[in-house]
Chains A and B, each alone.
Chain A
Amino acid sequence: MTSIPAAAETRATSSRAPLSESKGFLSFWFMLPAAVLLLVFLTYPLGLGVWLGFTDARIGRPGIFIGLENYEYLWEDGVFWLSVFNTLLYTISASLLKFALGLWLALILNENLPIKSFFRAIVLLPWVVPTVLSAIAFWWIYDSQFSIISWALMEMGLIDHRINFLGDPTNARASVIAANVWRGIPFVAITLLAGLQTIPQSLYEAATLDGAGRWQLFRYVTLPLLTPIIAITMTFSVLFTFTDFQLIYVLTRGGPVNATHLMATLSFQRGISGGQLGEGAAIAVAMIPFLLAAILFSYFGLQRRRWQQGGGD
């Protein structure tokens, strides 16, 4: 085993000099367009945002550098901290629900259903519909006068007055989370379904013969083999949820009494609607540590597990 990599290395070094010249030259030109695009459309806005966070810029008036003043102000601002709390609550509960329901749906879709492809197409629908459109649909569903949920529950005699979905802080939080879950499930379900399909049938058969029941098949075969995909899927799901803006903006605009204000919507409200560009930028920048933490968490969670590594010791 040890002699093989060594041999490969000597071969590589002997042929390195002429190859690497043309290779480096070529790869520079191949990478240039991507690098320029990244710089222009990613790094520049990000840098500008960070810079604005250190200024007192307003719309129509370039600001001057004011150091950490925006952040000091936010540190004292109860609404900002409420939005941090809301964002965490929103992200954590919606992600957990999306994971549980998405996994459940994926497991169901992985069974041999009669019209499987039809169901799979249906499941994708919430994700295909533009967010704003589905948000507007939910707006109607949650409408205090015309809500179909209220109507149905009243017809069934389960409640005697309409539910105030978006007017009451607790209800509003639950409602926006439900809407986000509805929208996010397809992504989780379809990705996990793809993962489920990579698990060879013979492993289930072997485990069945080894004496595993349904739950044990899930616990000892499905779940461990699905973990890498779960990690990727949930990282993306958390990032999407944390930065969500459209649903809240259409449904509640952060109300009632800021109960559903997320960092993203607060940033928009202060920065664009309120014109305080610098402060809005500072709120947005405050999201970065959370996002970085999520990415780092998943990076370590995602590291190839030992059993996935091929060859050698």
Chain B
Amino acid sequence: MASVAIRDVYKSFGSVQILHGVSVGIEDGEFVTLVGPSGCGKSTLLRMIAGLEGISGGDIAIGGRVVNNVAPKERDIAMVFQNYALYPHMTVRENMAFSLMLKGAPQEERNTRVKRAAEILSLSPLLDRYPRQLSGGQRQRVAMGRAIVRDPQVFLFDEPLSNLDAKLRVQMRAEIKELHQRLKTTTIYVTHDQIEAMTMADKIVVMHDGQVEQIGPPLELYDRPDNLFVATFIGSPAMNLLKGQIGTSGFEGAGGISLPFPARPGVAPGMPVVVGLRPEHLRLSDDGFPVKVVVVEPTGSEVQLIGRTPGGEEIAANFRERHAFRPDETIRLSADPGLIHLFDGQTGKRL
């Protein structure tokens, strides 16, 4: 187990810069997810930690040792690939024991370590099968087994669940989390799925276009997104954004809607702002702003509603109660002033 420090790291492929100065500190035993839209450079960063890609600038340290020029096999990390990368010509047992064999570990040690890992992952009955003879979820487990057997300082996962169906994904998500709670190995987990990131991580790193947008525990990102990107990326359904400005007693938006909230420091009347409202924080209230119902989607546990403000902005709301809304009906919504997010209209930063 070890801490990982990524300090002002740059990466260019030829003349194209992919990472523009990324800094992340990961503590010993922490489960960190790197999350962001496709192509933002998550895999590249992970592969740089693994040593599969060179580092163009800055440095990466594992357990306090700068590894920029350390060969991958000396870094003592294990990686689970998106396509699992199991050796097709080796049985599950051989796949898992491969790194031990290369190290020249005695047969006995290989057996006990493979056996232990197989038990943790319930792979024992499959040890003599070849990867082709396994289902997707089983292959996923073997890939994890191969990582566990090595007992590395750091686990790296690159979208390990994206080839699985939705149900299995939820199940494996829980298994990986449980595994981490059991082994307490520092884990860096790449995903583009914010739900995966939220549910699994101790700490989330939100990336966008080769830059870190925000780092923090899941609920902090949810409660206090630093900027508009994080605000819309974290949370499902996504946060509603309404453009407008600060009036005398709160927010004034397009179509004459207003949302009162107490004065905040650094927010002066007339300032252009964007207000963020989470769908689950909206409630029916007679003194709220008007919304015309467009679509109603009851899911059983809640009612999801999509509506339109007088200014033509789309707005989503979730209700725990079973309201019977009808399309084209006008309802009034408001939010607790404490749950209203305010962003600078120009920079998109949180106010």
Contacts and interface: CB of A to CB of B under 8 A. Distances in A.
B98 A207 contact: yes
B10 to A, nearest CB: 22
Contacts of A220: 87, 98, 102
A8 B81 CA distance: 35
A107 interface: no
A199 B20 CA distance: 33
Contacts, number: 71
B196 to A, nearest CB: 21
Interface in A215-239: 216, 220-221, 224-225
B103 A221 contact: no
Quick one: which of A209, A312, A313 has the most chain B CB within 10 A? A209
A15 to B, nearest CB: 29
A307 B90 contact: yes
Contacts of A212: 73, 102
Interface in B296-329: none
A115 to B, nearest CB: 17
A179 B90 CA distance: 39
Given A205-B85, A211-B102, A308 B132 contact: yes
Given A211-B103, A220-B98, A225 B88 contact: yes
Contacts of A311: 132-133
B72 interface: yes
A151 to B, nearest CB: 47
Contact of B72 (A209, A225, A308): A209
A292 B174 CA distance: 58
B52 A205 contact: yes
A220 B131 CA distance: 16
A200 interface: yes
B83 interface: yes
B89 A307 contact: yes
B133 A202 contact: no
Interface string B76-118: 0111010101111110000000110011000000000000000
Interface in A290-313: 305-313
A157 to B, nearest CB: 45
B180 to A, nearest CB: 19
Contacts of A307: 88-90, 130-132
A203 interface: yes
B62 interface: no
A16 to B, nearest CB: 30
B79 A209 contact: yes
A155 interface: no
B50 interface: yes
Contact of B130 (A205, A216, A221, A306): A306
B87 A207 contact: yes
B83 A202 contact: yes
Interface in A169-218: 200, 202-203, 205-213, 216
Among B51, B85, B150, the most chain A Cβ lie within 10 Å of the Cβ of: B85
B89 A224 contact: yes
A208 B130 CA distance: 21
B102 A216 contact: yes
B89 A209 contact: no
Contacts of A309: 130, 132-133
B73 A312 contact: no
Most buried by B among A205, A210, A221: A210
Given A224-B89, A307-B89, A311-B132, A209 B83 contact: no
A211 B85 contact: no
A207 B146 CA distance: 11
A210 B99 contact: yes
B133 A312 contact: yes
A221 B86 CA distance: 11
Given A211-B102, A225-B89, A206 B79 contact: yes
A309 B150 CA distance: 28
Contacts of A210: 73, 98-99, 102, 146, 150
A305 B87 CA distance: 14
B281 to A, nearest CB: 43
Interface string B137-162: 00000000010001000000000000
A309 B130 CA distance: 9
Contacts of B73: 208-213
Interface in B18-73: 50-52, 72-73
Given A307-B90, A310-B132, A209 B98 contact: no
B87 A209 contact: no
Contacts of A206: 79, 81, 85-87, 146
* Most chain A beta-carbon neighbours within 10 Å: one of B77, B86, B87, B130: B87
B167 to A, nearest CB: 20
A209 B50 contact: yes
A308 B130 CA distance: 9
B157 to A, nearest CB: 13
10 contacts: A206-B86, A206-B87, A207-B98, A208-B52, A209-B51, A210-B146, A307-B89, A309-B130, A310-B132, A310-B133
9 A-B pairs closest in CB distance? A210-B99, A202-B85, A206-B85, A211-B73, A307-B130, A211-B102, A224-B89, A307-B89, A310-B132
Interface of A: 200, 202-203, 205-213, 216, 220-221, 224-225, 305-313
Given A220-B98, A307-B89, 11 more contacts: A200-B83, A202-B83, A205-B79, A206-B85, A207-B98, A209-B72, A211-B102, A212-B73, A216-B102, A306-B130, A307-B131
